[in-house]
Structure 1
């Protein structure tokens, strides 16, 4: 009898050990199945495994493993994974808090349309988190998108901004509408979006975004010459792209041939500043840009006519171009035109006209004009 009881006891212990070692709950079996699918390359399973590790469902909570699987899923294009990985680093419970690491994935998810990430990115810019410079315009830019998608915290932030910063609110709202039209393929909107991102108003400066929109505005659809000019400047200065003088000159030339006054003026300055100067080329580019309305080109055309550089000397023509530039409030032209009339340089002296132009230059801050007026 005693032996029978011992055998039964041993069997019970063995069963207990077996159940303890080998028994798996439905959650554990589901986890293993999902993990196997994730390891086989299933993108949805990778996201699910990350969540199981994060919540400890069917497996012990493991922040490192959750982060690793979220990272893999984010690399495969999951905005949800990018946001959840960012949130892990923001919360700092399963992994050490790291706002700078979080920011990279917030930005990734926000660009992919995650309303929660867009709302949080707005907060980062509003509060200057992760070493970001505080930028209320950029914060609003993301809050507006998140609010439109239904994020309640973003909707509250939008309402506050509308009351507290109405002018900025309207500027950002208008710019966002420009970006949306750019996304739909509108060439003018693409150019304007690029200019806003390059200027850094009303949102934060973003050279990569500027380059992208300018490229689309030049290479697709209407092929806007101003976009080629903007791109040329970015390649010349290495803004958002590796510096490339050859590409810059190619784009300046294309824009100039398409009658872009800014590009024509730029080529004129290159020719004028060459060693030795290429005056005839410079005058040709300046005069073409002047015809397109460029005030600085009108001034340089007048200057070269006054000096007889690259063209026949002609004071009357020079005066015409100086006047064209001066009437566009180009200060250097106002000062020179004032001098010409004041001193009678190649034209009959006209003190009244000279004083008027000198005064306009002085009002615009020209110190030489102020000094000349003080001598009268």
Structure 2
């Protein structure tokens, strides 16, 4: 039969054009057309295997047919093949081949490939890191309508990556990206307004964009929004709302929010006082690297618990962690622990070492 007719028949069955919708028959005719060398059918067949349309999902066959289509110059297939290599779909993950096929697709005008190619250059994935090339491809992707590229262009201008640092342009691109619903850009736009970078300082606009970003799930924005409510920056002071957003940010893994949430429970700010919950969140914050939380845990072991041998050891461990992270107060307290043998064997040499470190820090 006529191979082009096979392909058209598949499209008819797949879209219910002039006949009933029938994915199995669509798959059958895509397969026939592909096996007869119709390159567009190869691409459609791969997509059937990828999504399990008219046939059971088969990732190896997905890869095989995207590869066949790409080698036959189907530009969209080049990009999908790149994504197979990137995500290990039907083939072993290979970043060099991801880069190769992304580049082929981008040079053939596939806008999504332009964006991913920029990412490859930015992160040095499958190729040498090249920030100038990255910036160039972000610009090309943005001109083709990839709105996510707006955010990365802003980052490039803000950090001087691949182009000259320009805070005004960074602000303008953050604004454009934020207005196109890029949640990360909303957060950075708010930060521009807080710091007055690339624009005039405006706490009300900062609050507005922190709120937008927070409502879109950006944990850093949740934390910043809580600070706005706690300090009355850009909005009326509201400790209950501050507590609410500290809690949201903490539950999303923000270490500083965990610490502030613990403080809220400890001091009864925006919520009822609850020392057990305060302790829980100090511990979570400390486990996530917050130095002040480590020191607060020490206070808890000393002031709210019984000073058992186990409590003293825990206390010592948190002091040591904070000291090793460069906290001056912790260095001094660690020296005292070693001098007096609190939570650790007495060691005057180590006591001297940490007194010296604390003195040099001060």
Measured against the shorter chain, the TM-score band is 0.5 to 0.7
Deviations 1:114-150 (A, max 9, x none): xxxxxxxxxxxxxxxxxxxxxxxxxxxxxxxxxx9xx
Choose from 206, 228, 234 the match for 1:282: 206
Counterpart of 2:252? 328
CA contact (8 A) 2:193 2:201 kept: yes
1:236 paired with 2:158, answer yes
1:309 paired with 2:209, answer no
Task: Identify which range, 227-236 or 196-205, moves more after superposition.
Answer: 196-205
Counterpart of 2:285? 361
Matches of 1:280 and 1:349, distance apart in 2: 31
The 3 A distance-change label for structure 1 pair 355 and 181 is farther
CA shift, 1:202, in A, is: 4.7
RMSD: 2.6
CA contact (8 A) 2:157 2:164 kept: yes
Counterpart of 2:18? none
Counterpart of 2:63? none
CA shift, 1:213, in A, is: 1.9
1:298 paired with 2:210, answer no
Counterpart of 1:272? 194
CA contact (8 A) 2:171 2:192 kept: no
Counterpart of 1:194? 118
Summarize the alignment of residues 1-376 of structure 1 with structure 2, pairs less than 5 Å apart.
170-220=94-144, 223-274=145-196, 277-376=201-300
Matches of 1:246 and 1:279, distance apart in 2: 18
CA shift, 1:300, in A, is: 0.6
What residue ranges of structure 2 are gaps of 5+ in the alignment?
A: 1-70, 72-91, 301-362
Deviations 1:268-300 (A, max 9, x none): 112112398421111011111111221111111
Matches of 2:282 and 2:105, distance apart in 1: 45
Task: Identify which range, 185-194 or 321-330, moves more after superposition.
Answer: 185-194
What residue ranges of structure 1 are gaps of 5+ in the alignment?
A: 1-147, 149-167
TM-score for the superposition, normalised by structure 2: 0.52
Matches of 2:234 and 2:137, distance apart in 1: 38
The 3 A distance-change label for structure 1 pair 369 and 227 is same
CA shift, 1:212, in A, is: 2.1
Matches of 1:201 and 1:354, distance apart in 2: 42
Task: Identify which range, 348-357 or 168-177, moves more after superposition.
Answer: 168-177
Q: Helix, strand or coil for the counterpart of 1:228?
A: helix
The 3 A distance-change label for structure 1 pair 234 and 273 is same
Larger Rg: 1
Matches of 1:179 and 1:342, distance apart in 2: 55
CA shift, 1:190, in A, is: 2.7
Matches of 1:187 and 1:354, distance apart in 2: 49
CA shift, 1:352, in A, is: 2.1
